[in-house]
Structure formats: structure tokens, C-alpha cells
Amino acid sequence: MWRSCLRLRDGGRRLLNRPRSGLTASEGLGRKPPIPFRAYVPPAERKRFYQNVSISQGEGGFEINLDHRKLRTPQGKLFTVPSEALAIAVATEWDSQQDTIKMYTMHLTTLCNTSLDNPTQRDKDQLIRAAVKFLDTDTVCYRVEEPETLVELQRNEWDPVISWAERRYGVEIGSSTSITGPSIPARTREVMVSHLASYNMWALQGIEFVVTQLKSLVLTLGLMDLHLTVEQAVLLSRLEEEYQIQKWGNIEWAHDYELQELRARTAAGTLFVHLCSESTAIKHKLLQG
């Protein structure tokens, strides 16, 4: 819940107010050397040094302000996002930090940093092909031969998703029990490449992020098309693990933590894609707790 409202100030500037005593703006953010996105190691927790979080519109898009300081990326670039909705979501992450800043909980901020810095220096075509390559090892395409109960579970839960994707995109995907996985037709890859090309660079960063979480392009497309919910996609990606847990039990705290983390990352990535694809700005929207 928000402790304060997002109010219109200074000719449209949105300000998130939550006064905190004893905090001063000391050092700037994001001056560390760039690290490739999937290897981004969140910095150690640090004390929250700002009181207010706001967004403002600049020449390059929407900016995030911590008190009177502009947020910057790990490479020192001005942190600027393409949509007002995304800026509000990122501002919410920063405003929700308590006494310490926990970067590992701020998935939207991390995705924005990746899009702005592009630490791996990949272009649009490389991002698309990296996502499509997951078809070769897609979670829902690999099947076991035994036990029969798991074979039936995979068939009942995964086959409908594959059938949906095949109908939705007019392609053939299939499944296999072979260690080499299914043989994906060249036309299927071409259709997927063409479809992903309709997304912008920012959205593609989010898509690849979700694909790597779920280990599945098929499940990711189901999420992007709103055919699956985050909860459904995550459980489908963990079908065999959940089966083993039901059969043999689990370490409760470890399983719960891992599941919640996967849901959080998948939800953030999905939201990021939709917000980066959103062209309509939020007009005079008031958020209040």
C-alpha cells in the first residue's frame, strides 16, 4: 500500500511524498562499471538516503528524481524511460524501499538499466534470435517417458499450451522425449522471428528476461498474449519440480522463497513488456494509499 499519494505539482510533475527523518542525500547512484545484464550483481544493501521520489518529463522521456537528484544508470547515463506508466512503476519501486535500498527487489529498475546501458551491446536481431533459440530447449517441449503419472501430467498440462501456440501463430512446435529435444521446423523459427520483430528494443529486453526465467518461449508468448497468468506460467514451468515435491516433500521455506522469487521476476518482466509497448500516457492519474 502507498503511504502517500502521487500528486500533481509544478505544472504536472508527479511527486511521491513520504517524509523520512535523519536521511540525507549523500553519494550519487549508478557510477559503477557496466556489467552484462544477466550477470548484474545487485550491490550490497545501502541505507536509504532520499526522502521523496518523483517523476518529471524531459526531452528524452520520463525521468526519476530522488529528492532533487536525477536517477542514473550503472554506466552513469540519465535514467529516462519511454512511458509515463513505466516511470510511475519504477518510482514505486524506489518509494517502497524502507530503511535500506535492496536493488535485488527492483526488477523494473534493473530492466530499465539494461535497456539504457545495453551492457552486452546486442542489437534487435540478436535479442530476437536469443529468445527464439530457447525453442530448442523449451521446457514444455521436453517430455519424460516415465513414470506414467508424470507423463500424463505433462501431456494434460503442456499439450494445451503448445496447441494454443501452434494455432495462434500457425506453426508446428510439437514435443519429444529425445535428449536432443523436438525438431523445430525452419518456418516456425521464421514466424517467431517475424512476430518478435514487432516489439521494440525495450520490450524485447523484457521478453528475453521472462524467457530466461521460465526457460520457455512458448510460455512467455502465452503471457504476452494474455493467454496465461503469471501464476499459471510459473507453475507450468515448474511442473516436474512440483510433481517431485508432491511426491517426496520439500524444504518448505526454500521452496516457498524460490517460487515467490520466480513469480516476482516473471511478473515484473511481463509488466515491463506491456508498459514498454504502451503508447498512451496516463493523464492526470492520482495514486493514493
Alpha-carbon Rg for the chain in angstroms: 21
Task: List the domain boundaries for the chain.
Answer: 53-117, 124-278
| pLDDT digit string (tens) for the chain, length 289 residues | 333 334 333 334 444 444 343 333 333 444 444 444 444 444 557 899 999 999 999 999 999 999 999 999 999 999 999 999 999 999 999 999 999 999 999 999 999 999 999 999 999 999 999 999 999 999 999 999 999 999 999 999 999 999 999 999 999 999 999 888 889 999 999 999 999 999 999 999 999 999 999 999 999 999 999 999 999 999 999 999 899 888 877 766 677 888 999 999 999 999 999 999 864 333 333 333 3
Q: What is the CATH number of domain 53-117?
A: 3.30.2180.10
Backbone torsions φ then ψ of 35, nearest 5 degrees: -130, 140
Q: What residues contact residue 221 under an 8 Å CB cut-off, 6+ apart? A: 165, 168, 169, 195, 227
pLDDT at residue number 4? 34
Query: By C-alpha distance, which of 30, 46, 168 is closest to 112?
Result: 30
SS3 81: strand
pTM flag (> 0.85): no
| Cell numbers given for 150 | 508424470
% helix, strand, coil for the chain, step of 5: 50, 10, 40
CATH superfamily placement of domain 124-278: ATP12 ATPase (1.10.3580.10)
* H helix or E strand, kind and range, residue 258: helix 252-276
Segments of the chain assigned E as strands: 6-9, 13-16, 46-47, 53-58, 61-66, 69-70, 80-81, 100-101
Which DSSP string corresponds to 92-144? HHHHT--SEE-GGG-HHHHHHHHHHH-TT---HHHHHHHHHGGGGG-GGGB--
3-state secondary structure of 47: strand
126: which 3 cell numbers? 540478436
pLDDT at residue number 284 = 32
Distance of CA 187 to the CA centre of its chain: 28
